[in-house]
Chains A and B, each alone.
Chain A
Amino acid sequence: MTVESTAPQQPARVAFYNDPKIRSMGYQAALCLIVALLIYGAVNNAIDNLQRAHIASGFGFWDQTAGFDISQTLISYSASVSTYGRAFWVGLLNTLLVAGLGIIFATIIGFTVGICRLSTNWLLSRAATGYVELIRNIPLLLQLLFWYNAVLKALPDIRDSHKFLGGYLNNRGLFLPKPIEQPGFGWVELALLIGIIGSVVFYVWARKRQMATGQQAPVTWVTLGLVIGLPLIVSALAGFPLQFEFPVLGRFNLNGGLGVQPEFAALLLGISLYTAAFIAEVVRAGILAVSRGQTEAAYSLGMRPRPTLRLIIVPQAMRVIIPPLTSQYLNLTKNSSLAVAIGYPDLVQVFTGTVLNQTGQAVEVVAITMAVYLSISLLTSLAMNVYNSRIALVER
Chain B
Amino acid sequence: MTMSDGELAIAEARFLQIAPIPPQPPPMAMTGAIGWVRTNLLSTPFNIALTIFVGLLLLWIIPDALRFLIFDAAWTGHDREACIYTAEHPDVGACWPFVWDRLSYFVYGSYPIPERWRVNIFFVMLAIGITWMLWLNAPRRDLGAAYFFIVLPICSFILLHGGLGLLYTVDTSLWGGVLVTIVVSSVGIVVSLPLGIVLALGRRSHMPTVKTLSVIFIEFVRGVPLITVLFMASVMLPLFVPDAYSPDKLVRALVGIALFASAYMAEVVRAGLAAIPKGQFEGAMAVGLGYRTMMQLIVLPQALKITIPNIVNTYIGLFKDTTLVFIVGLFDLVKTIEVARIDPQWAAPTTSSTGYAFAAMFYFVFCYGMSRYARATEARLSKAEKR
**Assembly CA distance A374 to B216 (angstroms):** 11
Interface residue SS majority, chain A: helix
Query: Nearest Cβ distance between residue A276 and chain B, in whole angstroms?
Result: 16
Kindly identify which residue among B210, B327, B338 contacts A27, using a CB–CB cutoff of 8 Å: B210
How many residues of chain B have a CB within 8 Å of chain A?
56
How many residues of chain A have a CB within 8 Å of chain B?
53
| Docked-complex contact B43 and A362, CB < 8 angstroms | no
Contact status of A138 and B243, CB under 8 A, knowing A31-B213, A120-B43, A369-B228: no
- Collect the chain B residues with CB atoms within 8 Å of residue A341's CB: 326-327
Since A28-B210, A140-B320, A356-B235 are in contact, a sample of 17 more A-B pairs with Cβ atoms closer than 8 Å, ordered by chain A residue number, is: A27-B207, A28-B209, A42-B240, A46-B240, A49-B243, A119-B50, A122-B40, A123-B55, A123-B58, A124-B50, A134-B364, A137-B367, A141-B324, A334-B224, A337-B225, A338-B227, A378-B223
B149, CB-defined interface residue at 8 Å: no
Q: Which of chain B's residues 195-222 have a Cβ closer than 8 Å to chain A?
A: 206-210, 213, 219-220, 222
Kindly identify which residue among B236, B324, B334 contacts A362, using a CB–CB cutoff of 8 Å: B236
Contact status of A121 and B224, CB under 8 A, knowing A141-B323, A362-B235: no
A370, CB-defined interface residue at 8 Å: yes
Quick check: which of B27-35, B78-86, B352-360, B376-384 contacts chain A, the rest being far away?
A: B352-360
- Collect the chain A residues with CB atoms within 8 Å of residue B208's CB: 28
Closest to B291 in A: A20
Closest to B223 in A: A377
Which has the most chain B C-beta neighbours within 10 Å: A52, A137, A149? A137
A145, CB-defined interface residue at 8 Å: yes
| Docked-complex contact A50 and B368, CB < 8 angstroms | no
Can you name 21 A-B pairs with beta carbons within 8 Å? A35-B213, A52-B243, A119-B50, A120-B43, A123-B50, A123-B51, A123-B58, A124-B50, A136-B371, A138-B363, A139-B363, A141-B323, A142-B360, A142-B363, A340-B327, A341-B326, A348-B227, A363-B239, A366-B235, A370-B220, A373-B224
| Docked-complex contact A137 and B356, CB < 8 angstroms | no
Interface positions of A (Cβ within 8 A of B): 24, 27-28, 31-32, 35, 41-42, 45-46, 48-50, 52, 119-124, 127, 133-134, 136-142, 145-146, 149-150, 154, 334-335, 337-338, 340-341, 348, 352, 356, 362-363, 366, 369-370, 373-374, 377-378
Query: What string of 1s and 0s marks CB contacts (under 8 Å) between B335-365 and chain A?
Result: 0001001000000010011001001100110
| Docked-complex contact A142 and B334, CB < 8 angstroms | yes
| Docked-complex contact A150 and B352, CB < 8 angstroms | yes
**Assembly CA distance A377 to B54 (angstroms):** 38
**Assembly CA distance A85 to B208 (angstroms):** 39
Contact status of A139 and B320, CB under 8 A, knowing A124-B51, A124-B54: yes
B321, CB-defined interface residue at 8 Å: yes
| Docked-complex contact B368 and A137, CB < 8 angstroms | yes
| Docked-complex contact B364 and A138, CB < 8 angstroms | yes
Kindly identify which residue among B55, B207, B321 contacts A28, using a CB–CB cutoff of 8 Å: B207
Closest to B47 in A: A121
B6, CB-defined interface residue at 8 Å: no
**Assembly CA distance A167 to B54 (angstroms):** 28
Closest to A341 in B: B327
Query: Nearest Cβ distance between residue A165 and chain B, in whole angstroms?
Result: 21
| Docked-complex contact B220 and A154, CB < 8 angstroms | no
B274, CB-defined interface residue at 8 Å: no
Closest to B324 in A: A141
Contact status of A45 and B47, CB under 8 A, knowing A138-B364, A140-B320: no
| Docked-complex contact A373 and B228, CB < 8 angstroms | yes
Query: What string of 1s and 0s marks CB contacts (under 8 Å) between B4-45 and chain A?
Result: 000000000000000000000000000000000000110100
| Docked-complex contact B41 and A146, CB < 8 angstroms | no
Query: What string of 1s and 0s marks CB contacts (under 8 Å) between B223-242 and chain A?
Result: 11111100110011011111
B57, CB-defined interface residue at 8 Å: yes
**Assembly CA distance A133 to B316 (angstroms):** 13
**Assembly CA distance A72 to B111 (angstroms):** 40
| Docked-complex contact B368 and A133, CB < 8 angstroms | yes
Kindly identify which residue among B50, B225, B327, B334 contacts A121, using a CB–CB cutoff of 8 Å: B50
| Docked-complex contact B235 and A374, CB < 8 angstroms | no
Kindly identify which residue among A45, A334, A356 contacts B241, using a CB–CB cutoff of 8 Å: A45
| Docked-complex contact B57 and A377, CB < 8 angstroms | no
| Docked-complex contact A348 and B225, CB < 8 angstroms | yes
| Docked-complex contact A24 and B206, CB < 8 angstroms | yes
Query: What string of 1s and 0s marks CB contacts (under 8 Å) between B35-79 and chain A?
Result: 000001101000100110011011000000000000000000000
- Collect the chain B residues with CB atoms within 8 Å of residue A142's CB: 323, 334, 356, 359-360, 363
Closest to A46 in B: B239
**Assembly CA distance A374 to B219 (angstroms):** 9
- Collect the chain A residues with CB atoms within 8 Å of residue B41's CB: 121-123
- Collect the chain B residues with CB atoms within 8 Å of residue A127's CB: 54, 57-58
**Assembly CA distance A109 to B223 (angstroms):** 25
Closest to A119 in B: B50
| Docked-complex contact B40 and A121, CB < 8 angstroms | yes
- Collect the chain A residues with CB atoms within 8 Å of residue B43's CB: 120-121
- Collect the chain A residues with CB atoms within 8 Å of residue B210's CB: 27-28, 31
